């Protein structure tokens, strides 16, 4: 009777398990990275090139002067595309059938030649145009604005990955069990003597005895815990970068940036009082009685004209404005803007003191708001952040008689020319804490 080295095989199973686990999990984890890394393409550079050279005639998802370009990189042969983009007229003149067909189909509209674009440039552009269409952003009215760190898709995909990993792990355990059983049966069918002693060992004991398997499982659990824990920590505490979806997609970039509307037009109380305030919808209507749609140039690859126009309709619905009759219907719905910046109740912050008295720019604390399509919290708003600025910043004495008087005394006391906010008392607990 030959003795198949079955026990040996069995002891190799954990190794197989590890290999499975690693291949599956890395391929899943790598998916995200692969999606944007691709084969050495730079989507961001592609977007810039597209906006600079192509956007005048091409949109991603609808026809403009030229056809919609999303997915075009897959549609044609790459070499043909290089030739077309470098000089479509030359390609047409060469008698290329496809090029001529396109040209005819578009009423012989002539596409600009781009001889200066390298193949790498064009690969980047095509990587940009071939990105999947972004999901339309559905507004989520989040009344519990404070604290809720991340409202974006990030946490969802994390959960998915962890779920998938757990599922794979479970499948592997089942497979391992089945394989062991089958092997055992084959062995028995071949008349191999199966060591009975082994069978008697309880599973947990066998598990503990197999140090390798324990190690693998421990590593797996640690990785998962680390992943979940990290994600959790990232969303509590510091809300820097918090950019919730608002009930109406209101773009600071379009209003304060492109159309140069002064911050104080809408946040007028920032100069005069503690809070900056969010404008009432009547302020919006002072312009939007007349502006019911955006111009086509305002649309971007990410946000279409239809999307923006739909958002203005939401404003009309909220204030009860009937566009056709040009009158208010009286039916209004409150818009609950999600609060982004929020200090805890025990901390005192005053806008007018910083904006008017000290002359600090909004951007110093809020970042380049006029470039943000969606407002995001720029500064950490921690105590350390307040204190750091108070240590560094000198008191602005211009036009301020009150400070001029104490300044003289204090600068003598500290023996310095210029006083920082800290030396003025800006580090005293009671100044910021009730
Ligand atoms: C001046 C307008 C114009 C500009 C700028 C322009 N195109 Fe075009 N493009 C067209 C027109 C018009 C067509 C349709 C074919 C024709 O009439 O020549 C076209 C067709 C194409 C096609 C074939 C699309 C299809 O689905 O069949 C591709 C690819 C393309 N353009 C890429 C680009 C890229 C990339 C850029 C920027 C580097 C660019 N185009 C800039 C006008 C333009
Ligand atoms: C036409 C009106 C308008 C103008 C002009 C405007 N804003 Fe706003 N701002 C709003 C509205 C509405 C919101 C609430 C929706 C949102 O967060 O996007 C808001 C929100 C904000 C927030 C976040 C508030 C929070 O919840 O923490 C900041 C900060 C801000 N604006 C700063 C600025 C600055 C700085 C400027 C000038 C560069 C400016 N705004 C210009 C209307 C305006
Ligand atoms: C001083 C005039 C003015 C005020 C005040 C104003 N808007 Fe606008 N709004 C505009 C202009 C101009 C456009 C862009 C038109 C274009 O690009 O063709 C616009 C575009 C929009 C759009 C489409 C683009 C986007 O931002 O999503 C929405 C929605 C909108 N406004 C909402 C509001 C809301 C809400 C308020 C009040 C908080 C407001 N607007 C206040 C002038 C104004
Ligand atoms: C020195 C830093 C600083 C400057 C400068 C500053 N802000 Fe703020 N801003 C804050 C802080 C901190 C909060 C959170 C306040 C809170 O939760 O009590 C805030 C909150 C806001 C909010 C949310 C609503 C509110 O009133 O709490 C808006 C809107 C806003 N700022 C707009 C502006 C505008 C517009 C300017 C310029 C005119 C400006 N801020 C200048 C620090 C600053
Ligand atoms: C970008 C710099 C900057 C940041 C950030 C900043 N401050 Fe200030 N702060 C100033 C300046 C400048 C003054 C002086 C104003 C004046 O002349 O009265 C000041 C003054 C004050 C005062 C009055 C101090 C006194 O002695 O009268 C308080 C209170 C205060 N800040 C609270 C805060 C809090 C709370 C935060 C954080 C949430 C903060 N500040 C963040 C620049 C800053
Ligand atoms: C310039 C303003 C300012 C001064 C001065 C200041 N604090 Fe704070 N403090 C804050 C702000 C803003 C927060 C909220 C920070 C946050 O939410 O992360 C805070 C938070 C705290 C907290 C809660 C724990 C934490 O870090 O979140 C404690 C405790 C505290 N401060 C104690 C003090 C004491 C004691 C002093 C005097 C030595 C002092 N603070 C001076 C602005 C200030």
Mean pLDDT score across all residues of the chain:
80
| Residue 150's pLDDT band (cuts 50, 70, 90) | very low
Judgement on whether residues 150 and 16 belong to the same structural domain of the protein: yes
Residue 134 lies in a domain: no
pTM of the predicted protein model? 0.61
Q: What angle do CA 181, 185, 186 make, to 5 degrees?
A: 120
- Predicted confidence (pLDDT) per residue in 302-320, tens digit: 999 999 999 999 999 999 9
> Does residue 266 line the site of ligand 2, with CB under 6 A?
yes
301 and 347 share one domain: yes
Q: Tell me the average pLDDT across 2-29.
A: 47
**Ligand 3 in reach of 254 Cβ (< 6 A):** yes
Ligand 6 centre distance from Cα of residue 149 (Å): 20
Among 209, 235, 261, the domain-final residue is 235
- 103 in any annotated domain: yes
Tell me the best of 267, 367, 372 to mutate to test the pocket of ligand 2, counting ligand atoms within 8 Å of each CB and taking the most.
Answer: 267
63 and 14 housed in the same domain: no
Is there a contact between 265 and 370 (Cβ–Cβ < 8 Å)?
no
- Reported residue count of the chain is 434
Within a domain: 68: yes
- Looking at the fold, whether 280 and 301 belong to one and the same domain comes out as yes
152-166, 369-383, 417-431: segment of lowest average pLDDT: 152-166
Q: What is the pLDDT of residue 191?
A: 74
Residue of 345, 323, 419, 396 lying closest to 147 (CA atoms): 345
| Pair (260, 373) in one structural domain | yes
Q: Are residues 431 and 303 in the same domain?
A: no
Which domain-ending residue is among 333, 351, 378?
378
How much is the pLDDT for 408?
67
pLDDT of residue 182: 84
- Ligand 5 near 410 CB (within 6 A): no
- Ligand 1 within 6 A of 174 CB? no
Instruction: Quote the pLDDT of residue 396.
Output: 64
- The answer as to whether 140 is a domain residue is no
Assess whether 25 and 57 both reside in one domain: no
Contact 128, 50 (CB under 8 A): yes
Q: Is the pLDDT of residue 14 over 70?
A: no
Ligand positioned closest to the Cα atom of 145: 2
Does the Cβ of 337 fall within 6 Å of ligand 2? yes
Percent of the chain surpassing pLDDT 70:
75
Between 186 and 92, whose confidence is greater? 92
The answer on 286 and 196 residing in a single domain is: no
pLDDT-derived band at 270 (thresholds 50, 70, 90) equals very high
Cα(389) to ligand 6 centroid in Å equals 14
- Gap between the Cα atoms of 340 and 6, Å rounded: 63
Can you say how many angstroms the Cα of residue 161 is from the centroid of all Cα atoms in its chain?
Answer: 18
Nearest-CA residue for atom 26 of ligand 6? 383
Q: Does 129 score more than 50 pLDDT?
A: yes
The predicted pLDDT at position 4 comes to: 44
User: Which ligand has the shortest distance to the CA of 341?
Assistant: 2
Instruction: Supply the pLDDT for residue 399.
Output: 54
Question: What Rg value do the Cα atoms of the chain yield, rounded?
Answer: 32
pLDDT for residue 300 is more than 60: yes
Cα–Cα distance list, 332 to 16, 314, 317, 396 (Å): 64, 11, 7, 45
Give nearest CA residue, ligand 3 atom 5: 284
| Ligand 1 pocket: which of 111, 114, 122 to mutate (most atoms within 8 A of CB) | 111
Residues 265-292 have a mean pLDDT of 92
- Ligand 4 centre from 300 Cα, in Å? 29
**Rounded Cα distance, 171 and 325, in Å:** 63
State yes or no: pLDDT of 405 exceeds 70.
no
Q: How many domains does the chain have?
A: 4
* pLDDT tens sequence across 186-224: 878 877 765 555 556 677 777 777 777 888 888 888 888
Domain boundary residue, one of 378, 395, 412? 378
Residue of the nearest CA to atom 38 in ligand 4? 362
Asked whether residue 240 is assigned to any structural domain, the reply reads no
- Is 189 contained in some domain? yes
> Which amino acid residue places its CA nearest to atom 22 of ligand 5?
426
CB neighbour class for 122 (10 Å; exposed up to 12, middle 13-18, buried from 19): buried
Q: Is the CB of 343 under 6 A from ligand 6?
A: yes
Q: What is the pLDDT of residue 31?
A: 42
Structural domain range at position 296: 252-378
Band (425; pLDDT cuts 50, 70, 90):
confident
Would 38 be classed as within a structural domain? Answer: no
Contacts 24+ apart (CB under 8 A), 207-216: 210/11, 210/14, 212/14, 212/15, 213/14, 213/17, 216/14, 216/17, 216/18, 216/21
User: Which residue, by CA, sits nearest to atom 23 of ligand 3?
Assistant: 308
Instruction: Say if ligand 6 is within 6 A of residue 238 CB.
Output: no
24-28, 130-134, 411-415 — which is least confidently predicted?
24-28
pLDDT tier for residue 90 given thresholds of 50, 70 and 90: very high
Closest ligand, as measured to the CA of 236 = 6
Residues 179 and 229 in one domain: yes
Higher pLDDT, 6 or 193: 193
Same domain, 261 and 361: yes
* Lowest-confidence pick of 111-115, 169-173, 322-326, 421-425: 421-425
72 lines ligand 1 (CB under 6 A): yes
Task: Show Cβ contacts of residue 334 under 8 Å, excluding neighbours closer than 6 positions.
Answer: 318
Instruction: Tell whether ligand 2 has an atom less than 6 A from the beta carbon of residue 279.
Output: yes
Distances (CA, A) of 415 to 184, 319, 410, 411, 423: 89, 59, 8, 5, 11
Query: Cα of 58 to ligand 1 centre, how many Å?
Result: 7
The answer to whether residue 37 sits within a structural domain is no
Q: Say if residue 330 is in the same domain as residue 406.
A: no
Query: Which range is least confidently modeled, 157-166, 174-183, 349-358, 374-383?
Result: 157-166
365 pLDDT higher than 90 = yes
- Nearest CA to 246 out of 315, 332, 185, 161 is that of 315
Q: In terms of pLDDT, which residue wins out, 391 or 81?
A: 81
In this predicted structure, the answer to whether residue 22 has a pLDDT above a threshold of 80 is no
**Does any ligand 3 atom lie closer than 6 A to the CB of residue 54?**
no
How distant, in Å, are the alpha carbons of 179, 232, 244, 340, 341 from that of 148? 46, 11, 9, 10, 12
Give the pLDDT mean for 239-262.
Answer: 91
Same-domain status, 374 and 273: yes
> Which of residues 250 and 235 earns the better pLDDT score?
250
Which atom, in ligand 4's list, is nearest to the CA of 361? Answer: 5
Residues 298 and 308 sit within 8 Å (Cβ to Cβ) = yes
Name the CA dihedral angle for 414, 420, 425, 426, rounded to a multiple of 10 degrees: -160
pLDDT at 397 over 50: yes
Residue 307 Cα, ligand 3 centroid: separation in angstroms? 13
> Are the C-beta atoms of residues 105 and 46 closer than 8 Å to each other?
no
**Phi, psi of 219, rounded to the nearest 5 degrees:** -60, -45
């Amino acid at each position: 009777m030959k003795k198949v080295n079955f026990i040996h095989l069995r002891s190799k199973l954990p190794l197989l398990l590890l290999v499975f686990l690693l291949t599956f999990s890395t391929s899943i984890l790598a998916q995200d990275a692969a999606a944007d890394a691709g084969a050495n393409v730079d989507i961001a550079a592609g977007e810039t090139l597209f906006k600079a050279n192509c956007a005048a005639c091409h949109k991603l998802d609808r026809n403009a002067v030229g056809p919609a370009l999303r997915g075009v990189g897959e549609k044609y042969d790459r070499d043909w595309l290089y030739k077309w983009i470098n000089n479509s007229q030359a390609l047409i003149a060469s008698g290329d059938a496809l090029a001529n067909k396109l040209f005819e189909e578009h009423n012989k509209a002539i596409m600009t030649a781009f001889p200066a674009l390298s193949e790498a440039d064009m690969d980047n552009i095509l990587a940009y145009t071939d990105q999947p269409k972004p999901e339309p952003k559905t507004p989520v009215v989040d009344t519990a604005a404070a604290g809720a760190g991340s409202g974006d898709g990030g946490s969802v995909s994390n959960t998915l990955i962890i779920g998938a990993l757990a599922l794979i792990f479970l499948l592997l355990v089942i497979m391992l069990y089945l394989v062991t059983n089958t092997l055992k049966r084959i062995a028995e069918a071949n008349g191999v003597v199966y060591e009975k002693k082994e069978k008697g060992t309880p599973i947990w004991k066998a598990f503990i005895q197999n140090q390798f398997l324990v190690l693998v499982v421990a590593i797996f659990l640690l990785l998962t815990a680390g992943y979940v824990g990290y994600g959790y920590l990232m969303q509590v505490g510091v809300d820097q970068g918090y950019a919730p979806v608002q009930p109406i997609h209101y773009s600071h970039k379009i209003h304060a940036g492109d159309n140069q509307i002064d911050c104080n037009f809408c946040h007028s109380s920032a100069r005069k009082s503690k809070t900056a305030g969010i404008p009432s919808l009547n302020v919006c209507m002072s312009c939007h009685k007349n502006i019911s749609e955006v111009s086509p140039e305002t649309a971007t690859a990410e946000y279409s004209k239809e999307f923006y126009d739909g958002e203005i309709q939401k404003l009309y619905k909220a204030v009860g404005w009937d566009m056709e009759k040009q009158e208010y219907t009286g039916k209004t719905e409150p818009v609950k803007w999600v609060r982004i910046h929020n200090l805890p109740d025990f901390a005192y912050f005053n806008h007018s003191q910083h904006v008017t008295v000290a002359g600090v720019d909004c951007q110093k604390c809020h970042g380049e708001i006029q470039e943000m399509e969606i407002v995001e919290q720029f500064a950490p708003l921690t105590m350390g952040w307040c204190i750091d600025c108070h240590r560094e910043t000198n008191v602005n004495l211009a036009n301020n008689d009150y400070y001029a008087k104490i300044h003289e005394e204090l600068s003598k006391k500290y023996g310095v020319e210029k006083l920082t906010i800290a030396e003025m008392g800006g580090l005293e607990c009671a100044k910021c804490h009730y």
